[in-house]
Amino acid sequence: MNMVRTAMLLAFMTALFMAIGFVIGGTGGMLIALAIAALMNAFSYWNADKMVLRMHHAVEVDERSAPEYYGIVRQLAERADLPMPKVYLIKNDQPNAFATGRNPDNAAVAATTGLLHMLTHQEVAGVMAHELAHVKHRDTLTMTITATLAGAITMLGNFAFFFRGGRNNPLGIIGILAAMILAPLAAGVVQMAVSRTREYSADRGGAEICGYPMWLASALAKIAGGAKRVVNEDAERNPATAHMFIINPLSGQRMDGLFSTHPATENRIAELRKMDSEFGGAQTDDVVMPNSRRPEEPPAHSGPWGRSPGTRQFKGPWS
């Protein structure tokens, strides 16, 4: 089913490329855009993950450079019956994380230094379990390709204005304005639809992997609060990648409406509370949203991988 969705996504993005090409140069422009789209699709399949990691200045780490962080990912990958993904660290004060890669055998997970500093071991485990759920569900290919092509469509839409469609432009100024406004908007709507439907699924999958839904719920509350306070400059420069993060990294976007890249954090926590009840309800009262006066950290529990992760925060060479 994911392969079908990916094929439909690529077809839609290709159609957008062709429509903009038609506005810029008529039939000839459409054929050129089709060729560019074909090359972009092939390039995105093999290289989009590397591009996204490079956009956010992610650095690969291992058991020596980040033993606690790497160890949590390794143990969760074993629990999820997944190959060990590459592990990346992003030097950024905003707490956030994402996963990328074309399949589980070529996957990568990335977390910011802000996330490792702010969250407890338990909460980091919840976040990384969420990202591994994206890998397990094979969401990463679709989300990564969407980020790459949406950015390219926006850029091509801007080209329509600068080139003014030339002599072969069959739609005149109306076509130019449509290409500038509607094409990036359509690409953005696709991003939103891709992200919003998959975040709930990854929340559930991540809770099943780590065994404690409220670890992730507590992490989401903290990340949502931190993302509002700290600007992520790399994300602001590359907004087409926003839907890949566990919480929207862009400033000023928190509504659970049509144009939000992520479901509202309150709604996601509510779903995790329901899941926690299914698990026995041991932690349903331990998570609050950032504006609440009650503490956000959950109590310590033995980790499902054999030892207690504790409640202390991460320290490491990135400090």
pLDDT, one tens digit per residue, over 59-70 is 999 999 999 999
Q: Are 257 and 117 in contact (CB under 8 A)?
A: no
The angle at the Cα of 155, spanning 102 to 88, to the nearest 5 degrees, equals 35
- Give a yes or no: residue 178 inside a domain: yes
- Give a yes or no: residue 286 inside a domain: no
- Which domain, by its residues, includes 196? 2-279
- Give a yes or no: residue 318 inside a domain: no
- Give a yes or no: residue 275 inside a domain: yes
Alpha-carbon span 12 to 23, nearest angstrom: 17
What length is written for the chain?
319
- Give a yes or no: residue 316 inside a domain: no
Ranges under pLDDT 50 in the chain: 253-258, 283-311, 315-319
- Give a yes or no: residue 287 inside a domain: no
Total domain count, the chain: 1
pLDDT, one tens digit per residue, over 168-225 is 555 556 666 666 666 666 666 665 656 667 899 999 999 999 999 999 999 999 999 9
pTM of this prediction?
A: 0.76
- Give a yes or no: residue 297 inside a domain: no
- Give a yes or no: residue 310 inside a domain: no
Alpha-carbon span 234 to 51, nearest angstrom: 13
Q: How far is CA 204 from the centre of its chain?
A: 16
Alpha-carbon span 154 to 65, nearest angstrom: 38
What per-residue confidence (pLDDT) applies to 239?
A: 83
Q: What residues contact 185, with CB distance under 8 A and at least 6 apart?
A: none
Kindly list the catalytic residues: 131
- Coil, strand or helix at 97: strand
Q: DSSP readout, 148-201? A: HHHHHHHHHHHHHHHHTT-TT-SSHHHHHHHHHHHHHHHHHHHHHHHHHHHHHH
